[in-house]
Structure 1
Amino acid sequence: MDIYASTLSPAVDIGAGCYLLVVAVLSIIGNLLVLIMAFKKSSRMKPPELLSVNLAVTDLGAAVTMYPLAVASAWSHHWLGGDVTCLYYGLAGFFFGVASIMNLTILAVVRFVVSLNLQSPSEKISWKKVKMLCICIWLYALVWALFPVLGWGRYGPEPFGLSCSLAWGEMKHEGFSFVISMFSLNLVMPSVIIICCYFGITIKLYFTYKNSMNNSSRIPNIIKLHRRLLVIAVLISVGFIGCWAPYGLMSLWSIFHDSETIPPEVSLLPCMFAKSSTVYNPLIYYIFSQSFKREVKQLQGMCSGFNACRVSNSINDNSIYMVTADIKPTIAARSTLQEIMESKTVTLG
């Protein structure tokens, strides 16, 4: 029996290939736009924003290195390349998946730490620390991706035959410790940390707002800023975890039950849904950040002239991690702060 032959109908294969092609195109375009906007603001970028750039890199990396092979295989009604490409695809998928969830976790922790010092201009996270965090994220993901290659865990084809991942059904006994460790350290623990951090930020913002109502007109503006960033961050985290949760549940079912009891079409759906996670972040930025939307439209005007694409540098780029002492409670100052909010939401979302 050919384990790389599709168990789906040709029509479903074509549909899956078209879906993945759309996901790939949207992911590449969207995340490239995020990186372009971040590059244009690089001189004003604050250290923690590098984590958001790092997240866009993981999504772009998955879309570029994985999806073209999956699309070609779907349209061929057979996984292309055999064992070599199956190992490559499974390793890449696991690598970028772990990197994304850990990036979201570190981002939540950094936001929580920053939220504890809303009024402290001296409290900063250095570039060196953030760069070390990014390196640790990639090294951590690489170690976990290499474990199956070294014998702890295993990569193999999905039940429907057109994708490769961790061979859940083959790890019921010898790889069971890997499954438990992987789910505990790369799904459950990060999810709990993310939930606790954002819940803590919400509580902090609530009490800060209440305490500042009668004391200052500046703090509520900063609360609005952090609230907007909090909404974007929560949506991104929920989107990623929500996309991968069905696939995780199906994988657990394959561990404790016979995976052949799941129809191929049913096992295909969580896999396709998980792959769509790389699309959502730029879409969330575009919907909730007026600055990002405006700059994307400016970039679209590049064909009509270079000046149409220039981003204004007139905005006073105060760090959104602190309240500067020179902000006056006037209408003009609040307008400036609103512009700052919009300009910083792009990369911190």
Structure 2
Amino acid sequence: AMDIYASTLSPAVDIGAGCYLLLIAVLSIVGNLLVVIMAFKNSSKMKPPELLSVNLAVTDLGAAVTMYPLAVASAWRHHWIGGDATCLYYGLAGFFFGVASIMNLTILAIVRFVQSPFLSAGEKIGWKKVKMLCIWIWVYALIWALFPVLGWGRYGPEPFGLSCSLAWGEMKQEGFSFVIAMFSFNLVMPSVIIICCYFGISMKLYFTYKMSTSNNYRVTSMIAIMISVGFIGCWAPYGMVSLWSIFRDSSTIPPEVSLLPCMFAKSSTVYNPMIYYFFSRRFKREVKHMRRTCLTFNSRRVSDGTNDNGIYMVTAGINPKITSLMFSV
């Protein structure tokens, strides 16, 4: 009998994949942990919509901590560790955090679209609503992740043997309705909503450009757009290969080729904190301050410089050169 959990890749590729995943894991954990720590440190200044960004960081952190160590260990052993039980666990965790992540981004886009900088305080979304939305995201993701356990859809090893996810190739007959529903509700619909919302925001910005839109709103939107584009970019190749293995035979795809989109999708947990770091002066300053604090153990507060509306993710004190480059319409 063929061992479905044996790696179909060459040992060198396995070791490379393991090293890559280890790097992704470390960067994800450090980066997203920083986002969460900053949010706690600055919670008094935090605005309700920013809770969604923190929720996204928690999602990425969850994926990195619960999944990546197992994947790294398996890659280095050239064999999936733990058989069916860990395969089910890994597939479920991956699907759960993936759906939570894209729903976070979708709701963030809707909230950003609805919240223009011109709303009065009373019209803006409150803490209670945002907390409800965060809870809804987790519940929604959990329901989807449990469907395959309950018999609609199924989890199984990936073609290259070192990872588990939805068993695309085996869902041609019995799980086809699940595949269609999954792609519609968790990939196509969110992507369309995200694109429409950010298109709407850019139109708003364009037409109110002459009026004094706050620089802040523009930068925030820019950060959010980049995160969404990055996310869709990371998951699109994986979605395409998965669709291919449903409509055609997955054995027509060389294992090395099916490994790439999977690795690519895994990197989606890293770049959100990176985008914050490169675009947000405040976030950079906080990170540097924390480094100093860790090194010298003196936690004197660094004065927070210019215009502090909102925490690190929605900074107004951003490099003006970058801003003029990006928003010269």
- What TM-score results when the alignment is normalised by the length of structure 1? 0.87
- 1:319: Cα distance to partner? 5.8
2:100 aligns to what? Answer: 99
8 A contact 1:318–1:340 mirrored in 2 = no
Pair 266,179 (structure 1): closer, same or farther in 2 beyond 3 Å: same
How far, CA to CA, are the matches of 1:340 and 1:122 in structure 2? 28
Match of 2:176 in 1: 176
Residue 235 (structure 2) pairs with residue 234 (structure 1) = no
Query: 2:169–2:245: 8 Å Cα contact kept in structure 1?
Result: yes
> Aligned pair 1:47/2:38, yes or no?
no
CA contact (8 A) 2:308 2:316 kept: no
Hey, what does 1:73 align to over in structure 2? 74
Aligned AA for 1:269?
Answer: L
| Aligned pairs (5 A) from 1:235-254 | 235-254=226-245
Report the alpha carbon displacement of residue 225 of structure 1 after superposing the two structures with TM: 1.6
Given the superposition, is the C-alpha separation of residues 318 and 12 from structure 1 closer, same or farther in structure 2, using an over 3 Å criterion?
A: closer
Q: Retained in 2: the 8 A contact 1:155–1:167?
A: yes
Q: What pairs with 1:50-61 in structure 2 (closer than 5 Å)?
A: 50-61=51-62
Q: How many residues align?
A: 316
The one-letter code sitting in structure 2 at the alignment partner of 1:42 is S
| Equivalent residue, structure 2, for 1:10 | 11
SS at match of 1:150: coil
Gaps of 5+ in 1: 213-218, 321-336, 343-349
SS in structure 1 of the partner of residue 89 of structure 2: helix
The aligned counterpart of 2:254 is: 263
Partners of 1:6 and 1:33 in 2: CA distance? 35
Name the counterpart of 1:157: 157
Contact 1:300 1:309 in 2 (8 A): no
CA 1:204–1:71 in structure 2 vs 1: closer, same or farther (change >3 Å)? same
Distance 1:167 1:8 in 2: 19
Counterpart of 2:208 in structure 1 is: 208
Label 1:303 to 1:185 Cα distance change in 2 as closer, same or farther (>3 A): closer
Partner of 1:276: 267
Partner in structure 1 of residue 324 of structure 2: none
Counterparts in 2 of 1:108 and 1:26: CA distance versus 1, 3 Å: same
Report the CA distance between 1:204 and its aligned residue: 1.1
Partner residue, 1:347: none
Offset at 1:305?
3.0
SS of 1:165's partner is strand
Extract unaligned runs of 5+ from structure 2: 321-329
Question: Per-residue displacement from partner, 1:198-245 (whole Å, max 9, x unpaired)?
Answer: 1111111222223x2xxxxxx24x1x2211111110110011110010
Letter in 1 for 2:60: D
- 1-structure distance, mates of 2:78, 2:288: 39
- Going from structure 1 to structure 2, the CA distance change for 1:340 and 1:244 (only over 3 Å counts) comes to closer
Superposition deviation, residue 120 in structure 1: 2.5
Deviation for aligned residue 1:316: 6.5
Change (3 A) 1:318 1:26: closer
1:288 aligns with 2:279: yes
1:122 Cα deviation after fit: 3.1
Match in the other structure for 1:32: 33
C-alpha RMSD over aligned residues: 1.9
Point out the structure with max Rg over C-alpha. 1
Identical aligned pairs, as a percentage?
80
Instruction: Say whether the 8 Å CA contact 1:108–1:194 is kept in structure 2.
Output: yes
CA distance in structure 2 between the partners assigned to 1:199 and 1:46 by the alignment: 23
Post-superposition CA distance 1:23-81 (Å, at most 9, x none): 00000000011111111101111111100000000000000000000000000000000
Deviation of residue 339 (structure 1)? 3.9
Aligned mates of 1:208, 1:102 — CA distance in 2: 29
CA distance in 2, matches of 1:86, 1:309: 47
The residue type equivalent to 1:77 in the other structure is H
8 Å CA contact 2:279–2:318 kept in 1: the answer is no
The question of whether the paired residues in 1 share the 8 Å contact of 2:52 and 2:130 is answered with: yes
Normalised TM-score (structure 2):
0.92
Q: Which amino acid aligns with 1:205?
A: L
Match of 1:301? 292
Contact in 2 for aligned 1:301/1:309 (Cα 8 Å): no
Question: 1:340–1:261: structure 2 CA closer, same or farther, 3 Å change rule?
Answer: closer
User: Is the partner of 1:66 in helix, strand or coil?
Assistant: helix
Q: 2:281 touches 2:319 (CA, 8 Å); kept in 1?
A: no
